[in-house]
Every structure is written in structure tokens, then in C-alpha cells.
């Protein structure tokens, strides 16, 4: 590959360079290639095949992304002042580590936030949700295993069993462990193997059953000539010629996994930012200071956490097995704003046990510590047994609580990267009373107790697996970073297509919505016009 920068702005290396290979970047890569564009995708993470994934999350080298410690896995944990964030890294982005779940948001999502008056979003996105489900091989989970059965009991106890249902997931069920020719794209896709319900979806599917993006969008894009560079991190994007980017852009990048950070450059007529909130927003905040000064001042604003709680429910029952099933097999709609999902890990993946402590209610530091210690002192033997269970993943499940209710932050540049600040919205809460109540009722069916990450109890910092916003839509540059077709205000042939563009709180897992928005944005783009 020629990485020499060209001075002739009328002749660039590529038509489009896409920064990031998650849901937005993968969709963009395929659809641009279909429209005749020459495309390059740059991804800071590694390529992972089914044999490369860690067998358990104790294999930190392959599970965690922490390059300074030579850990180049598929999951990144980021702690800021007001939020702890779990995200995905690698070719395929969050699809490598997410729980496969593809729910459609409720109507409230389309009528709130900065995008609400720009389009009739529910009507606009309906056909693209269908398209996304088809591309991602979505199917309803046919198996209710132990963790799902307990959730159903909770729904029955609350007289809402009709609001309990299977998840629609990006998994090839087929016949367990049986490999077949591509079942989705008329033979153009890779072989698939039937899911065997091992529960290891979130440490990277080891059986080739998970429909991650490298099995669909990226696979098909490569067949059309799209190039993918892995283990490279983009550090600068600057216009060639005219400052509005109409002459194209120079994209500078360096090694993301190597000690030596030699910088390289390539040029393109257009650029798509698709690195998610932690990639795109961080980069845009940096670029707004020098290379891209015309960016909206809204960059980094309207950050949303999906109003989540991640609560570990640990059971004393040794004869039960939470690991059997897919990562998330069911969902319970506890009320019109609230959704609860049981999330499992596969056998042996007990890493989280080192960082959890009992849940507490709201209050100051000393009140929280007192409540935590009080629980342990009241039942010392029970908590000792729960902390020392032999097979943590077998006897535990994570309850993912999500709400449509808005809670917002803003991200700004800090001395060591990004920092979070409170916005004019509601502060994300580390302890949500309804989440705690549901978790206690769930644990009541399993002879268990509830735990959260220690950062929540000790520091009152909530956690989320679905960080959203920061590059939201608006009617103009004063209200948003992009327009309703994902074009960046202030620049030509520049788009943002990832979770940072989500402009309201979906209240459910956002992967489907990101994919649908990306499909819509690409549908609006004309055939190769360069």
C-alpha cells in the first residue's frame, strides 16, 4: 500500500476513509463500495477469528484493551469522573464483545432530544430496522435457560408476564456445533456454525455462531474491494486545500499496538468518523482546537448513558448454572420506561468477581460505606460464601437495567484525554432505586445477593455499556454537530456515523438503531460523485 501523501488534492488515495469498524463504520464501508467508491477502513484494534478469542475473561491479554500494559483484547474499560464505560475494540468494533441483542426502541425515543423535530424518525427508520435485522441475521432466541426462567418468574410475580419476551439476536442458531455454508447472503458470506448455548458471546464467540460485523457487512465489503487496516489509530484529519474540506482530507495515523508510533498519512476526498463516543468524540475535541476549527461547539455535549445499572446477582445455589444460553436471551419490560435483561458469561469467566461489592442505596460516601459494611456484618457467612464461590460465572448473572429517562453529561478535553462534566440535564445515578428493587426480587428466587462494581458503591460513579451522544443531530451548527443526514456542519464530504450521533435516549441496547441510522445515511448518499 502506498502511504505517501499526495499534494495533488484532485487525486487522492481513496474516495472515503472510514475511522472505526463498528456498526456505523461497517455499514458505511459496504454501502459506499456498492455505490462505486474506493474505501479504506482504519481500526485501532486487532483482527480476531473464532480461535483467537480468549477462552475466559481471565485471559486479560486477549480480553482487555489496555495497550500501555500490552493488553490488546476486545473490551475496553474507561473510568471518568462521572461514569465508567465498557466498550468494544477490534475489527468489527462492539459487535465482537456485545451481547448480540437487537431491540427496537419504544416510541418515546423518536420524540425527544435534539433530533426530535428534524424528521418523523419512527417512520423514517422502520424500513432500515428491517434491513438491519436481515443483514445481522437477527432471530428470536428459542431457548429460555435458568437466568431467563428466573426473569420470567419475576415478571409473573409482578403480574406482568405478558411483558416478558425472548430477545431478537444476531446469532445463527441452526443445529448446535454443525457448520454449514453461508445461510444469509446466497453463498457470498462465510460459513456459519450453529450456536451451542455456551454463554461465551461477550468474550468473543469461539464457535462461529455470533453474527459479528466481520461475518456480514465487513466480509461483503472486502469482497467489493474495501481495504481494512487494523492496529492503527487516527491522530489527525486536516483539509487539503480549501478549509471546508471540499478538496479532500489528509488522514494521519500511527500504530495502536506497537511501541514505535511512526506516523503515516493517506488522503481521501471524504472522511467518515465511526469510532464510537470514546473514539470519535475524543478525536473531534482534539481536532476542533487546530485541524478542524469550524466544528460545532456542540462536540462532546448531550452524552447519554442509557440510564443504566449493571447489577451482579450472585447465587448460593451450586446446582444451578447461569452460563447456559446466549449472552442475553430474554427481556422484561418492567414499565413503559424500564427494561431488564439477564446477561451471562461462559464457564470460567469469573474476572468480575475481583471488582464487585454489595449494592447500596443513594447517599454520601460514609452512608454508602456504612450500608455496605452493615450488609456484610449482618450476614458474614453468606457473603463469604458468595465471594468465594468456586465457579463465579456459573453462579452469577449480570442484570442490565435500562431506562428511556434522560441523564446527560458533556465530555471535554483534559490533561490526560477526555474528562466528564455535568450538563444541564440530570446527573447519571450510580444507584437507581427501581433497579435495586428488581435485582433484590430477582435474587430472592435464586438464594442470592446483589453486587455492583466497586466504583459505584465507593465513588458513586455509575457504569454503562452503552455510552451515546456527543456528536448529536441539530437543525444547525448551534444545536448539533451533524445534520439529519449525518453530514458534519462546517465541512464538505465529512460524516459521523456511530453511537455518538444518537440524539436521544433509546433505553434499550443501541446496536440496531446505530445500524439502521447508518443504513439510512448511506441510502441518502448518491452513487460515486467524485
**Which residues are identified as catalytic?**
466
Cα–Cα distance between 517 and 115 in angstroms, integer? Answer: 12
Q: Which backbone phi and psi does 154 adopt, to 5 degrees?
A: -65, -45
Query: What is the phi-psi region of residue 159: left when phi exceeds 0, alpha when psi lies from -120 to 50, beta otherwise?
Result: left
Q: What share of the chain is helix, strand, coil (3-state, %, to 5)?
A: 25, 25, 45
* C-alpha closest to that of 280 among 479, 82, 418: 418
Total Cβ atoms within 10 A of residue 306: 27
Nearest alpha-carbon partner for 34 in 180, 217, 254:
217
Q: Are strands 75-79 and 84-88 parallel, antiparallel or unpaired?
A: antiparallel
The angle formed by the CA atoms of residues 488, 490 and 492, to the nearest 5 degrees, is 65
Distance CA 139, CA 180 (A): 17
Beta bridge partners of 264: 253
**Among 399, 400, 396, 378, which Cα is nearest to 387's?**
396
- For 301, how many CA atoms within 13 A lie in the half-sphere containing its CB? 19
H/E stretch holding 261 reads none
Indicate left, alpha or beta for 236 from its phi (over 0: left) and psi (-120 to 50: alpha).
Answer: beta
Q: What's the rounded Cα separation, in Å, for the pair 467 and 276?
A: 8
- Residues forming beta bridges with residue 494, ordered by sequence position: 271
**Grid cell in block for residue 382:** 453468606
Amino acid at each position: 500500500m502506498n502511504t505517501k501523501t499526495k499534494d495533488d488534492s484532485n487525486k487522492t488515495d481513496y474516495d472515503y476513509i472510514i475511522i472505526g469498524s463498528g456498526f456505523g463504520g461497517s455499514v458505511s464501508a459496504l454501502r459506499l463500495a456498492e455505490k462505486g467508491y474506493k474505501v479504506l477502513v482504519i481500526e485501532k484494534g486487532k483482527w480476531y477469528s473464532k480461535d483467537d478469542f480468549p477462552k475466559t475473561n481471565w485471559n486479560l491479554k486477549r480480553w482487555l484493551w489496555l495497550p500501555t500494559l500490552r493488553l490488546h483484547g476486545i473490551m475496553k474499560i474507561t473510568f471518568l469522573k462521572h461514569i465508567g464505560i465498557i466498550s468494544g475494540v477490534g475489527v468489527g468494533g462492539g459487535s465482537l464483545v456485545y451481547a448480540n441483542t437487537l431491540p427496537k426502541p419504544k416510541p418515546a425515543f423518536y420524540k425527544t432530544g435534539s433530533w426530535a423535530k428534524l424528521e418523523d424518525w419512527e417512520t423514517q427508520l422502520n424500513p432500515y430496522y428491517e434491513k438491519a435485522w436481515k443483514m445481522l441475521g437477527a432471530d428470536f432466541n428459542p431457548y429460555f435457560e435458568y437466568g431467563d426462567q428466573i426473569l420470567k418468574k419475576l415478571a409473573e410475580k409482578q403480574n406482568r408476564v405478558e411483558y416478558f419476551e425472548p430477545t431478537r439476536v444476531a446469532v445463527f442458531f441452526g443445529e448446535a456445533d454443525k457448520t454449514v455454508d453461508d445461510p444469509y447472503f446466497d453463498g457470498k458470506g462465510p460459513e456459519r456454525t450453529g450456536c451451542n448455548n455456551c454463554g461465551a458471546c461477550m468474550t468473543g464467540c469461539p464457535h462461529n455462531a455470533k453474527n459479528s460485523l466481520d461475518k456480514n457487512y465487513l466480509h461483503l465489503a472486502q469482497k467489493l474491494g474495501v481495504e481494512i487496516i487494523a492496529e492503527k489509530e487516527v491522530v489527525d484529519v486536516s483539509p487539503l486545500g480549501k478549509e471546508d474540506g471540499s478538496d479532500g482530507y489528509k488522514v494521519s495515523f500511527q500504530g495502536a499496538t506497537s511501541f514505535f508510533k511512526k506516523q503515516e498519512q493517506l488522503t481521501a476526498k471524504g472522511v467518515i468518523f465511526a469510532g464510537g463516543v470514546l473514539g470519535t468524540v475524543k478525536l473531534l475535541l482534539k481536532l476542533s482546537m487546530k485541524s478542524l476549527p469550524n466544528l460545532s461547539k456542540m462536540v462532546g455535549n448531550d452524552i447519554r448513558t442509557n440510564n443504566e445499572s449493571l447489577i451482579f446477582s450472585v447465587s448460593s445455589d451450586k446446582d444451578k448454572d447461569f452460563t447456559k444460553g446466549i449472552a442475553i436471551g430474554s427481556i422484561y419490560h418492567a414499565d413503559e420506561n424500564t427494561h431488564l435483561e439477564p446477561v451471562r458469561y461462559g464457564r470460567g469467566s469469573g474476572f468480575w468477581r475481583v471488582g464487585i461489592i454489595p449494592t447500596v442505596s443513594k447517599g454520601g460516601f460514609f452512608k454508602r460505606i456504612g450500608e455496605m459494611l452493615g450488609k456484610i456484618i449482618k450476614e458474614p457467612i453468606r457473603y463469604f460464601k458468595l465471594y468465594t464461590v468456586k465457579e463465579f460465572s456459573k453462579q452469577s448473572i449480570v442484570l442490565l437495567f435500562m431506562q428511556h429517562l434522560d441523564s446527560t453529561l458533556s465530555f471535554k478535553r483534559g490533561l490526560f484525554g477526555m474528562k466528564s462534566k455535568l450538563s444541564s440535564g440530570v446527573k447519571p445515578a450510580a444507584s437507581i432505586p427501581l433497579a435495586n428493587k428488581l435485582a433484590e426480587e430477582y435474587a430472592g428466587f435464586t438464594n442470592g445477593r446483589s453486587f455492583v462494581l466497586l466504583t459505584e458503591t465507593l465513588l458513586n460513579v455509575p457504569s454503562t455499556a452503552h455510552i451515546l451522544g456527543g456528536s448529536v443531530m441539530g437543525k444547525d451548527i448551534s444545536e448539533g454537530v451533524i445534520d439529519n443526514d449525518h453530514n458534519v456542519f462546517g465541512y464538505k464530504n465529512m460524516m459521523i456515523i456511530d453511537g455518538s450521533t444518537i440524539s436521544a435516549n433509546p433505553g434499550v441496547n443501541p446496536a440496531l438503531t446505530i445500524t439502521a441510522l447508518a443504513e439510512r445515511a448511506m441510502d441518502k448518499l448518491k452513487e460515486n460523485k467524485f
